[in-house]
A and B are shown apart, each in its own frame.
Chain A
Amino acid sequence: MSFFQLILKNLLRRRSRSLLTLGGIAIGIAAVVSLSGIACGFERSWANVYKARGTDLVVTKSVTRSTMPGPFPFALKTELQKMPHVREVGALLSDVFSIEDSPTILVIGWEPKTSLWNHVKLVSGKWPEDSSKGTVALGTLNAEMLGKTLGDKVQIESGEYTVCGIFSSSALAESGAIVMPLPAMQSLSNKEGMVNFFDIWLEPNTSAEETEQLRRSIKAKFDGLTAFNPGSVAENNIAMQIAKAMTWAVSSIALVVGAIGVMNTILMSVFERLHEIGILLAIGWRRWRIMQMILAESLLLSFVGGLAGCGLGVVAARLLQMSPWVHGKLEADVGLPLLGIALLIAIALGALGGLYPAWIGSRMSPATALRQ
């Protein structure tokens, strides 16, 4: 009999309790995997937007109270355009609206005749005319979600819009969005002359140092505005920060419950086996081996629970992704690194949960235990 077989035997002696603990750990880890997967997907979805556009710098308000950055004057574009290395500036105004029976949908107003329109591909119909306030283009996923096609009407707030085009984008956030010209969006959201993003494209051959210098210059020159690289979008997006914070809050609660479950199970199993542990000590088992046995039981339980949790988390993330609130806005990003971290967390839980019971078991007096 190997040491591993002994550990396994000890756990299988109380199958129901071991299974329940395993289930508790699996749920905790599944919460970590699914919620973190969604949060990572949210982050990646936005990062993909800027990647698809080829944007070098994004300018937005540095402080905002809502999930969307607050508006600032479109007129600032002229000054931005004059700054060194700037090739082009494109203005955007975006917001989320509840449209017809669907939950919140992203609506974006792009400045006409800028590179903002270049990265998306028109699948059918045509782009909304610059001067028109009555037409919109739908992303393919959005058209599918709303069940709309060319010529259909879309009710956004109090206005009615005609679908004139359907486009595809490699970024999921755009694919699930509605696009219209900037003036139309300003009118829809009652923010005439305002925008909440400037996308900046720099001249070719602009070095990383020059980009960083420009970023600092923009921040210094325009009070209340900040410029950031598309790669650091998560740090500058309040919605993402909230999503991440909530993910870790919920995951932490689930993990604490899991750790207490492990400790409870292993502690009960140690107290039930005090006599047996006494026998092992009496026949020459050293205290560190008793500790090793109890810790190994805890770690094995957590490892298997972690594996089950990873599987459960992947399924949960897929189900969450298909829910109406999430569908079309982001896709879960459950990669191997996340699963690896989740498994490490599970193992850490096992170590933490097993440490105290292992210490209790290894400190006992064999003579006392044998008398029980």
Chain B
Amino acid sequence: MVRARTAPGHMSSTNALIEVRDLRRSFDQDAVQALRGVSFTVAQGEFVSVMGPSGSGKTTLLNILGALDTRFEGAVTIDSVELRHLPDPERFRSRTIGFVFQSFHLLPALTALENVQMPMFERRWRASERKTRAAALLKSVGLEHRLDHRPAKLSGGERQRVAIARSLANEPKLLLADEPTGNLDSSSALKILEVLGAIHQQRNMTMIVVTHDCDVAAATNRTLRLRDGQLLEKQIAPGA
């Protein structure tokens, strides 16, 4: 089920989970400027899409928000943690971020149940607890009948649902999805959209989805539009 779209700028700085100020990131000794002074805030529980043409800086932005890239200029704060030069980004990712990738990025040798358990190794849960939690997560995305299947035996849509279940493994505060429907047919894409919508509604989870798909963007609360490394409109809520 997909939530209705709400007006942007509804949040205040007091409940902002993400605060981005004058974010700049360049590569090849400043020859390529991927992000040029991006600023926005995202409230706790908000479902935001990021759209823009190829090369506009969407993936760079997502990598920075996911603490996969901490060498940037400006300020990025997520859940009161400043990400610039974060000393232990893996620990932060493990506790705060869930990732969903366009290419699923499941481990081919492991079953669906085992794939979902992988992030849980960073928590002090016993093997039996990890297994129970993973099974429950797979059930929540409608894959209770596919627990022991390896990725090669699953359809594209099923693989993405396994990846979504995995992203929720450590109960993150923020879910980042990079083109989650990009490799799927329309029917599978719709199913993924329903799953993401249901997660957002049930868990009140903050979600940011990078997409080219207008249907996906329409299902979110707000859309950030990027072009040439800059946001097209001001995205900071009044009073922030």
Contact = CB atoms under 8 A, between A and B. Distances in A.
B127 interface: yes
B91 interface: yes
A6 B127 CA distance: 11
Nearest to B101: A370
Interface in A342-372: 365-367, 370
Contact of A286 (B94, B114, B118): B94
A289 B94 CA distance: 12
A285 B97 CA distance: 12
A366 B62 CA distance: 13
Nearest to B122: A284
B96 to A, nearest CB: 9
A240 B108 CA distance: 55
A283 interface: yes
A279 B107 CA distance: 8
B5 to A, nearest CB: 29
Contact of A13 (B97, B109, B131): B109
Contact of B131 (A1, A9, A275, A286): A1
Contact of A283 (B63, B99, B109, B110): B99
B121 to A, nearest CB: 7
B119 A283 contact: yes
Question: Contact residue range for chain A?
Answer: 20 to 34
Interface in A9-35: 9-10, 13
A370 B94 contact: no
A3 B121 CA distance: 8
A164 to B, nearest CB: 74
A2 interface: yes
B107 A282 contact: no
A282 B127 contact: no
Most buried by B among A1, A287, A289, A367: A1
Given A13-B109, A282-B105, A289-B122, A367 B68 contact: yes
B90 interface: yes
A281 interface: yes
Nearest to B63: A367
A2 B110 CA distance: 13
A286 B122 contact: yes
B68 A284 contact: no
B223 interface: no
Contacts of A10: 109
A130 interface: no
A275 B101 CA distance: 13
A312 interface: no
A281 to B, nearest CB: 6
Contacts of A366: 68
A27 B105 CA distance: 39
B130 interface: yes
Contacts of A276: 107
B91 A286 contact: yes
A78 B95 CA distance: 87
A280 interface: yes
Given A13-B109, A370-B101, A281 B90 contact: yes
A367 B71 CA distance: 12
Given A9-B109, A279-B105, A285 B130 contact: no
Contact of A284 (B95, B105, B127, B131): B95
B122 A282 contact: no
A282 B99 contact: yes
A279 B99 CA distance: 10
B131 to A, nearest CB: 7
Interface string B123-134: 000010011000
B170 interface: yes
A367 B178 CA distance: 13
A365 B69 CA distance: 9
Contacts of B95: 284
Given A1-B131, A367-B69, A285 B109 contact: no
B93 interface: yes
Contacts of A279: 105-107
Contact of A287 (B69, B90, B97): B90
Contact of B121 (A9, A285, A370): A285
Contact of A9 (B88, B106, B110, B119): B110
B117 interface: yes
Contacts of B52: none
B66 interface: yes
Contact of A1 (B69, B127, B169): B127
B166 interface: yes
A284 B69 contact: no
A155 B106 CA distance: 78
Contacts of B166: 283
A280 B105 CA distance: 10
A289 B107 CA distance: 17
B109 A284 contact: no
Nearest to A283: B119
Nearest to B111: A1
Interface string A70-104: 00000000000000000000000000000000000
5 contacts: A1-B117, A275-B105, A279-B105, A283-B94, A284-B97
Ranked nearest first, the 3 interchain pairs of A and B with the lowest CB-CB distance are A284-B94, A286-B90, A284-B93
Given A284-B95, A284-B97, A365-B68, 11 more contacts: A1-B127, A3-B121, A6-B121, A9-B109, A279-B105, A282-B66, A282-B101, A284-B90, A284-B93, A285-B90, A285-B119
